[in-house]
């Protein structure tokens, strides 16, 4: 059932085994952002499909908001460190870093894996390696290089906990979307050093099912443009044996 519901959020989202299936972004400031069929995705833990290979130089340079949809399918749960070798080099670094523990750490790892495998992002720094002024500034989770641009990446999970207790509510989705997008403005303002200052931020949101993805999408679309800013929001619907992302607190 969950696989069938994905079409509510990502139009015509295909599997990586079916490169003929067309994909489309969720929104681009209200306009349809068309994309080619599933791009070639590098191998790793889990199967990616949907809007892969669609973030280009113009997207990273222009001061506009975009939202795209991706699907991440897991045939088996990820077990660390037994499965760590299947991650990208950046993912392995994150898994070995102290702040990458527990379920929030795993969501950060697989948000990065999506960027690395779909968009060619290269890992630069983890949350504790980025310098802020003042040090009490809101923080982002990691920094990557995409093309010629340094990009900050903030990661969150949108679901009603504990997992299985019910659907994500509209009110909770609106609060989370508003808070995380607002914090992106704050963390960007707090990064002042040349070594760490990025050109743009990505908000990576992981959701457990397509219904929650649709609820979160509606909440984001209702936000004021000043809140959304120039963020690229990647909404990843996880499927299959994905409980490991949401259950270990």
Burial of 30 (0-12, 13-18, 19+ CB in 10 A): exposed
Determine the 3-state secondary structure of 186 from DSSP: helix
Determine the 3-state secondary structure of 90 from DSSP: helix
Among candidates 94, 107, 223, 102, which has minimal Cα distance to 158? 107
Among candidates 73, 26, 16, which has minimal Cα distance to 213? 26
Domain coordinates of the chain in residue numbers? 2-247
* Per-residue model confidence as pLDDT tens digits over 64-98: 999 999 999 999 999 999 999 999 999 999 999 87
Put simply, whether the predicted model's pTM sits higher than 0.85 gets the answer: no
pLDDT tens over the chain, length 249 residues = 333 333 223 322 323 333 222 233 333 333 222 333 344 467 899 999 999 999 999 999 999 999 999 999 999 999 999 999 999 999 999 999 876 545 578 999 999 999 999 999 999 999 888 999 888 888 999 999 999 999 999 999 999 989 889 999 999 999 999 999 999 999 999 998 888 999 999 999 999 999 999 999 999 999 999 999 999 999 999 999 999 999 865
Among candidates 149, 68, 144, which has minimal Cα distance to 112? 144
Could you please report the per-residue DSSP string of 217-248? Answer: HHHHHTS-HHHHTTPEEEEEEEEES-THHHH-
Average pLDDT, the chain: 83
Say how far apart CA 135 and CA 141 lie, in whole Å.
15
């Amino acid at each position: 059932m969950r696989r069938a519901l994905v079409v509510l959020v990502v139009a015509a989202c295909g599997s990586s085994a079916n490169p003929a299936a067309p994909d489309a972004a969720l929104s681009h400031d209200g306009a349809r952002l068309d994309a080619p069929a599933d791009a070639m995705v590098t191998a790793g833990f889990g199967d990616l499909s949907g809007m892969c290979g669609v973030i280009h130089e113009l997207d990273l340079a222009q001061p506009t908001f975009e939202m795209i949809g991706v699907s991440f399918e897991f045939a088996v749960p990820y077990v660390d460190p037994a499965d760590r070798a299947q991650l990208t080099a950046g993912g392995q670094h994150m898994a070995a870093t102290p702040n990458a523990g527990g379920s929030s750490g795993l969501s950060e790892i697989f948000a990065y894996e999506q960027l690395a495998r779909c968009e060619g992002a290269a890992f630069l720094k983890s949350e504790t390696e980025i310098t802020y002024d003042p040090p009490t500034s809101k923080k982002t989770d990691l920094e990557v290089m995409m093309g010629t641009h340094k990009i900050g990446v903030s990661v969150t999970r949108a679901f009603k906990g504990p997992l299985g207790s019910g659907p994500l509510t509209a009110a909770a989705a609106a609060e989370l979307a508003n808070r995380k997008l607002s914090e992106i403005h704050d963390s960007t303002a707090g990064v002042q050093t040349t070594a760490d200052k990025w050109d743009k931020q990505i908000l990576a949101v992981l959701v457990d099912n397509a219904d929650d993805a649709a609820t979160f999408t509606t909440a984001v679309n209702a936000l004021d443009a000043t809140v959304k800013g120039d963020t690229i929001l990647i909404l990843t619907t996880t499927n299959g044996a994905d409980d490991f992302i949401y259950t270990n607190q």
